[in-house]
Protein backbone atom coordinates (compact mmCIF):
# COMPACT_ATOMS: atom_id res chain seq x y z
CA UNK A 1 0.00 0.00 0.00
CA UNK A 2 1.06 3.58 -0.55
CA UNK A 3 1.99 5.77 2.36
CA UNK A 4 -0.91 7.79 3.73
CA UNK A 5 -1.11 11.23 2.14
CA UNK A 6 -0.47 13.10 5.42
CA UNK A 7 2.80 11.25 6.05
CA UNK A 8 3.87 11.70 2.45
CA UNK A 9 3.31 15.44 2.85
CA UNK A 10 5.57 15.62 5.92
CA UNK A 11 8.27 13.62 4.18
CA UNK A 12 8.23 15.86 1.12
CA UNK A 13 9.11 18.80 3.37
CA UNK A 14 11.56 17.07 5.69
CA UNK A 15 13.60 15.49 2.89
CA UNK A 16 14.89 18.96 1.95
CA UNK A 17 16.44 19.52 5.41
CA UNK A 18 20.27 19.71 5.35
CA UNK A 19 21.82 16.25 5.36
CA UNK A 20 18.43 14.51 5.21
CA UNK A 21 17.44 12.33 2.27
CA UNK A 22 14.16 10.49 1.55
CA UNK A 23 14.97 7.55 3.86
CA UNK A 24 15.81 9.78 6.83
CA UNK A 25 12.76 11.92 6.07
CA UNK A 26 10.64 8.80 6.40
CA UNK A 27 12.24 7.91 9.75
CA UNK A 28 11.76 11.42 11.10
CA UNK A 29 8.14 11.59 9.94
CA UNK A 30 7.23 8.31 11.64
CA UNK A 31 9.19 9.37 14.71
CA UNK A 32 7.14 12.56 14.99
CA UNK A 33 3.94 10.54 14.72
CA UNK A 34 5.07 8.21 17.50
CA UNK A 35 5.84 11.13 19.84
CA UNK A 36 3.38 11.87 22.64
CA UNK A 37 0.99 14.48 21.29
CA UNK A 38 2.18 17.14 23.75
CA UNK A 39 5.73 16.71 22.43
CA UNK A 40 4.77 17.09 18.79
CA UNK A 41 2.60 20.08 19.75
CA UNK A 42 5.62 21.57 21.52
CA UNK A 43 7.70 21.06 18.37
CA UNK A 44 5.14 22.87 16.21
CA UNK A 45 4.88 25.62 18.81
CA UNK A 46 8.68 26.03 19.03
CA UNK A 47 8.90 26.39 15.24
CA UNK A 48 6.07 28.94 15.15
CA UNK A 49 7.58 30.85 18.07
CA UNK A 50 11.03 30.97 16.46
CA UNK A 51 9.58 32.01 13.11
CA UNK A 52 7.60 34.85 14.63
CA UNK A 53 10.25 36.21 17.02
CA UNK A 54 13.55 35.75 15.16
CA UNK A 55 14.54 38.42 12.69
CA UNK A 56 17.66 39.41 10.79
CA UNK A 57 19.69 42.21 12.35
CA UNK A 58 19.67 45.02 9.78
CA UNK A 59 23.36 45.75 10.48
CA UNK A 60 25.08 42.33 10.60
CA UNK A 61 22.29 39.95 9.41
CA UNK A 62 22.63 37.81 12.50
CA UNK A 63 19.39 36.10 13.56
CA UNK A 64 18.16 37.71 16.72
CA UNK A 65 15.06 38.60 18.70
CA UNK A 66 15.96 42.27 18.41
CA UNK A 67 17.15 44.61 15.67
CA UNK A 68 19.90 45.68 16.04
CA UNK A 69 21.06 42.43 17.60
CA UNK A 70 22.69 42.49 21.08
CA UNK A 71 26.20 42.37 19.57
CA UNK A 72 25.65 45.36 17.25
CA UNK A 73 23.93 47.22 20.10
CA UNK A 74 26.86 46.61 22.51
CA UNK A 75 28.73 49.92 22.78
CA UNK A 76 31.73 48.29 24.48
CA UNK A 77 32.79 46.49 21.32
CA UNK A 78 35.54 47.56 18.90
CA UNK A 79 33.48 49.13 16.14
CA UNK A 80 36.29 49.31 13.59
CA UNK A 81 36.79 45.55 13.15
CA UNK A 82 34.31 43.24 11.43
CA UNK A 83 34.50 39.46 11.36
CA UNK A 84 32.79 38.06 8.24
CA UNK A 85 31.15 34.64 8.60
CA UNK A 86 28.98 32.56 6.28
CA UNK A 87 26.05 31.78 8.58
CA UNK A 88 24.45 32.83 11.88
CA UNK A 89 25.64 29.47 13.33
CA UNK A 90 29.23 30.42 12.49
CA UNK A 91 28.69 33.73 14.26
CA UNK A 92 27.59 31.89 17.41
CA UNK A 93 30.76 29.75 17.28
CA UNK A 94 33.08 32.76 16.89
CA UNK A 95 31.20 34.78 19.50
CA UNK A 96 32.21 32.23 22.15
CA UNK A 97 35.77 33.50 21.76
CA UNK A 98 36.07 36.02 24.58
CA UNK A 99 39.15 37.86 23.25
CA UNK A 100 37.40 38.89 20.05
CA UNK A 101 35.71 42.21 20.76
CA UNK A 102 34.86 43.38 17.26
CA UNK A 103 31.62 43.23 15.30
CA UNK A 104 30.30 40.73 12.74
CA UNK A 105 28.76 40.39 9.34
CA UNK A 106 26.84 37.33 8.12
CA UNK A 107 27.37 36.84 4.40
CA UNK A 108 24.54 34.35 3.88
CA UNK A 109 26.66 31.56 2.37
CA UNK A 110 29.73 31.21 0.18
CA UNK A 111 30.51 31.55 -3.51
CA UNK A 112 29.84 28.29 -5.31
CA UNK A 113 29.88 28.25 -9.11
CA UNK A 114 28.72 24.61 -9.15
CA UNK A 115 25.55 25.54 -7.24
CA UNK A 116 25.18 28.73 -9.31
CA UNK A 117 25.80 30.90 -6.24
CA UNK A 118 27.56 34.05 -7.36
CA UNK A 119 28.43 37.36 -5.68
CA UNK A 120 24.92 38.70 -6.30
CA UNK A 121 23.48 35.90 -4.14
CA UNK A 122 25.49 36.94 -1.08
CA UNK A 123 25.32 40.17 0.95
CA UNK A 124 28.54 41.51 -0.55
CA UNK A 125 27.16 44.94 -1.48
CA UNK A 126 25.85 45.46 2.06
CA UNK A 127 29.23 44.41 3.47
CA UNK A 128 31.17 46.82 1.27
CA UNK A 129 28.76 49.64 2.04
CA UNK A 130 29.13 49.02 5.75
CA UNK A 131 32.95 48.95 5.55
CA UNK A 132 32.82 52.34 3.85
CA UNK A 133 30.06 53.98 5.92
CA UNK A 134 31.47 52.86 9.26
CA UNK A 135 35.12 53.48 8.31
CA UNK A 136 36.07 49.92 9.23
CA UNK A 137 39.84 49.41 9.51
CA UNK A 138 40.08 45.61 9.52
CA UNK A 139 37.90 42.86 8.07
CA UNK A 140 38.60 39.35 9.37
CA UNK A 141 37.48 36.78 6.81
CA UNK A 142 36.20 33.84 8.82
CA UNK A 143 34.51 31.92 6.03
CA UNK A 144 34.82 28.13 6.16
CA UNK A 145 38.13 26.49 5.25
CA UNK A 146 36.64 24.41 2.42
CA UNK A 147 37.08 25.35 -1.25
CA UNK A 148 33.96 27.55 -1.32
CA UNK A 149 34.98 29.42 1.82
CA UNK A 150 38.54 29.96 0.56
CA UNK A 151 37.30 31.20 -2.82
CA UNK A 152 34.93 33.58 -1.07
CA UNK A 153 37.68 34.89 1.23
CA UNK A 154 40.00 35.54 -1.73
CA UNK A 155 37.25 37.27 -3.66
CA UNK A 156 36.32 39.50 -0.72
CA UNK A 157 39.95 40.27 0.18
CA UNK A 158 40.47 41.66 -3.31
CA UNK A 159 37.48 44.01 -3.02
CA UNK A 160 38.37 45.07 0.51
CA UNK A 161 41.99 45.82 -0.36
CA UNK A 162 40.81 48.00 -3.24
CA UNK A 163 39.12 50.10 -0.55
CA UNK A 164 42.48 50.38 1.26
CA UNK A 165 41.15 48.45 4.22
CA UNK A 166 43.08 45.62 5.89
CA UNK A 167 41.71 42.13 5.07
CA UNK A 168 42.86 39.24 7.24
CA UNK A 169 42.21 35.50 7.11
CA UNK A 170 41.97 33.21 10.13
CA UNK A 171 45.32 31.59 10.87
CA UNK A 172 46.35 27.98 11.10
CA UNK A 173 44.75 25.55 13.51
CA UNK A 174 41.38 25.24 11.84
CA UNK A 175 41.03 21.94 9.98
CA UNK A 176 41.21 22.35 6.21
CA UNK A 177 37.84 21.74 4.60
CA UNK A 178 36.10 22.45 7.89
CA UNK A 179 33.06 24.40 8.92
CA UNK A 180 33.67 27.22 11.43
CA UNK A 181 30.39 26.27 13.09
CA UNK A 182 31.88 23.00 14.36
CA UNK A 183 35.28 24.32 15.46
CA UNK A 184 35.85 24.61 19.20
CA UNK A 185 36.41 27.86 21.05
CA UNK A 186 40.15 27.38 21.65
CA UNK A 187 40.81 26.57 17.99
CA UNK A 188 38.88 29.64 16.81
CA UNK A 189 40.58 31.79 19.43
CA UNK A 190 44.05 30.69 18.18
CA UNK A 191 42.99 31.12 14.56
CA UNK A 192 41.91 34.71 15.26
CA UNK A 193 45.12 35.46 17.20
CA UNK A 194 47.17 34.02 14.30
CA UNK A 195 45.25 35.76 11.53
CA UNK A 196 47.26 36.81 8.50
CA UNK A 197 46.91 39.77 6.23
CA UNK A 198 45.74 38.76 2.75
ZN1 LIG B 1 23.77 42.69 14.46
Query: In which band, very low, low, confident or very high, does the pLDDT at 191 lie, cut at 50, 70 and 90?
Result: confident
Q: Which fold has domain 5-53?
A: Helicase, Ruva Protein; domain 3 (1.10.8)
**C-alpha 174 – ligand 1 centre gap (Å):** 25
Residue 22 has a pLDDT of 92
pLDDT band of residue 186 (cuts 50, 70, 90) is confident
Centroid of ligand 1 to alpha carbon of 103 (angstroms) = 8
Domain boundaries, the chain: 5-53, 66-197
Q: Which fold has domain 66-197?
A: Dna Topoisomerase Vi A Subunit; Chain: A, domain 2 (3.40.1360)
Quote the ligand 1 centre to 179 CA distance (angstroms).
Answer: 21
- Rounded CA-CA distance 156/154 in Å is 6
pLDDT digits (tens, 9 = 90+) for 20-59: 999 999 999 999 999 999 999 999 999 999 999 999 999 9
Distance 178 CA to ligand 1 centre (A): 25
CA of residue 61 to ligand 1 center, whole Å = 6
Spell out the SS3 assignment of the chain: CCCCHHHHHHHHHHCCCCCCCHHHHHHHHHHHHHCCHHHHHHHHHHHHHHHHHCEECCCCCCEECCCCCHHHHCCCCCCCEEEEECCHHHHHHHHCCCCCCCEEEECCCCCEHHHCECHHHCCHHHHHHHHHHCCCCEEEECCCCCHHHHHHHHHHHHHHHHCCCEEEECCCCCCCCCCHHHCCHHHHHHHHHCCEEC
What is the distance in A from the centroid of ligand 1 to the CA of 83? 12
pLDDT at 10 over 80: yes
Amino acid sequence: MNRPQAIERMMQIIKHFPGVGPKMAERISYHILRMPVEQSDALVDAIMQARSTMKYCSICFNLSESDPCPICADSDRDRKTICVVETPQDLIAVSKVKDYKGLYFVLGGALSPLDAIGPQDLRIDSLLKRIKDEAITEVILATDTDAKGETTALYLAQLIKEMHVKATRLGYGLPVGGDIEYADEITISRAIAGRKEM
